[in-house]
Amino acid sequence: MDSVQMISHIEQSLNYSVYDVKWIPCSAKFVSIGSKPKGTGVVQIYELNRGALDLVQEVEKEKSLKCSSFGASKLRTEHLAVGDFAGKLAVYDLERLDAPPVYEVNAHDGIINTLDAIGGSTVNCGAPEIVTGGRDGSVKVWDPRQPNDPVANISPASKDPAARRDCWAVGFGDSHNPVERVVCSGYDNGDLKLVDLRNLKLRWEANVTNGICAVEFDRKDIRMNKLAVSTLEGGLYVYDMRTQHSQKGFASVKERTVGQSLGTNGVISGAKSTVWTVKHLPQNRDIFVTGGGSGNVRIWLYHYPENRSKELTDGEQQGVAGTLEMLHATTLSTQPVHTFDWSPDRQGLAVCGSFDQTVRVLITTNLNLH
In order of their start, the domains of the chain are 5-14+124-365 (2.130.10.10)
Q: Is the pLDDT of residue 266 over 90?
A: no
Q: Please provide the average confidence, as pLDDT, over all residues in the chain.
A: 91
Read off the pLDDT of each residue in 137-148 and give the average, rounded to a whole number.
91
Distance of alpha carbon 142 from alpha carbon 122, whole angstroms: 17
- Decide which of 226 and 267 is more confident: 226
pLDDT for 195: 95
pLDDT for 184: 96
pLDDT tier, 37 (very low <50, low <70, confident <90, very high otherwise) = very high
Q: How many helices (H) and strands (E) does the chain have?
A: 0, 32
Read off the pLDDT of each residue in 119-134 and give the average, rounded to a whole number.
82
Read off the pLDDT of each residue in 166-190 and give the average, rounded to a whole number.
93
Q: Is the pLDDT of residue 33 over 60?
A: yes
pLDDT tens profile 70-79: 988 887 788 9
Read off the pLDDT of each residue in 36-65 and give the average, rounded to a whole number.
94
- Percent residues over pLDDT 90 in the chain: 75
- Percent residues over pLDDT 70 in the chain: 95
**Weakest mean pLDDT among 70-79, 129-138, 261-270, 349-358:** 261-270
Q: Give the residue from 149, 141, 135, 139 showing the smallest Cα distance to 71.
A: 141
Q: Is 163 helix (H, G, I), strand (E, B) or coil?
A: helix
pLDDT tens profile 306-342: 999 998 888 889 999 999 999 999 999 999 999 999 9
Read off the pLDDT of each residue in 27-47 and give the average, rounded to a whole number.
95
pLDDT for 1: 47
pLDDT tier, 264 (very low <50, low <70, confident <90, very high otherwise) = low
270, 292 Cβ separation under 8 angstroms: no
Q: Is the pLDDT of residue 351 over 60?
A: yes
pLDDT tens profile 295-307: 899 999 999 999 9
